[in-house]
A and B are shown apart, each in its own frame.
Chain A
Amino acid sequence: TQLLEQSPQFLSIQEGENLTVYCNSSSVFSSLQWYRQEPGEGPVLLVTVVTGGEVKKLKRLTFQFGDARKDSSLHITAAQPGDTGLYLCAGTQNTGNQFYFGTGTSLTVIP
């Protein structure tokens, strides 16, 4: 059983469209991270959020941590082919430093 569930699992959109990826759990997390992974490579850290309700923006990417620190979302505006990849959320809990990874969302942006 995965502690963090992501939706959708797969997403294929046209260049220029907007999209939102969700990361949900029934557990509380002390921090939550988002990564992007390209084929054959390791995940690359995009952002870390630690405060409930926190919103962070990174160019066309907007990340939000839920008020109860149980969920998070990643919104991409005007998607580009370079955004293609596997998006992973990961969280840590107060009980330890172990990172729990979400199930992943595979995004394809079609030119």
Chain B
Amino acid sequence: KAGVTQTPRYLIKTRGQQVTLSCSPISGHRSVSWYQQTPGQGLQFLFEYFSETQRNKGNFPGRFSGRQFSNSRSEMNVSTLELGDSALYLCASSKTLSSYEQYFGPGTRLTVT
């Protein structure tokens, strides 16, 4: 069974630009969560989608948004990039909304210059 895939793996953007990251969950998994990982703040929850609806949201500004498609694939978008947005963005999938177990993809390393 294929794991969670994320594209692209690496990305370099300039301040003020916007970026879209993609995540394909494990087949049969319907819940997708997004996290930001930085050396200073660790792993922080961005949002979770289930059945194309955002179900939970972390404490991030509105510049961070996401969506989920009918095939459970998800995208997250960051607009007006700031230097502090440089991070590893991780996507995790789980079977259902209340599942205790989630499986992570390899992440997208975003560098903002």
Contact surface of A with B, Cβ cutoff 8 Å: 2, 31, 33, 35, 40-45, 48, 50, 88, 90, 92, 96-104
- Whose C-beta in chain A lies nearest to the C-beta of B31? A97
Provide the residues of chain B in CB contact with A33, threshold 8 Å: 100-102
Provide the residues of chain B in CB contact with A101, threshold 8 Å: 35, 42-45
Provide the residues of chain B in CB contact with A48, threshold 8 Å: 100-101
Contact surface of B with A, Cβ cutoff 8 Å: 4, 31, 33, 35, 42-45, 48, 55-56, 58, 90, 92, 97-107, 109
Residue in contact with B104 in the complex, picked from A2, A44, A97, A100, CB distance below 8 Å? A44
Provide the main secondary structure of the chain B interface.
strand
Question: Given A41-B107, A99-B45, A103-B42, are A31 and B56 also a contact pair (CB < 8 Å)?
Answer: no
Closest CB-CB distance, A29 to chain B, in whole Å?
Answer: 10
Question: Given A41-B106, A104-B42, are A96 and B101 also a contact pair (CB < 8 Å)?
Answer: no
Provide the main secondary structure of the chain A interface.
strand
Closest CB-CB distance, B69 to chain A, in whole Å?
Answer: 20
- Whose C-beta in chain A lies nearest to the C-beta of B57? A98
What CA separation (Å) do A104 and B41 show in the bound complex? Answer: 10
Question: Given A31-B100, A50-B100, A101-B42, are A43 and B90 also a contact pair (CB < 8 Å)?
Answer: yes
- Whose C-beta in chain A lies nearest to the C-beta of B58? A98
- Whose C-beta in chain B lies nearest to the C-beta of A96? B56
What CA separation (Å) do A61 and B52 show in the bound complex? Answer: 38
Query: What 10 A-B pairs have minimum CB-CB distances, sorted nearest first?
Result: A42-B104, A101-B43, A31-B100, A98-B56, A48-B100, A43-B104, A42-B106, A42-B107, A42-B90, A42-B105
Task: Pick from B42, B45, B105 the residue with the most CB of A within 10 Å.
Answer: B42
Q: List 13 A-B contacts (CB under 8 A).
A: A2-B42, A31-B100, A33-B100, A35-B104, A41-B107, A42-B92, A42-B105, A48-B101, A88-B43, A98-B58, A99-B33, A99-B92, A99-B102
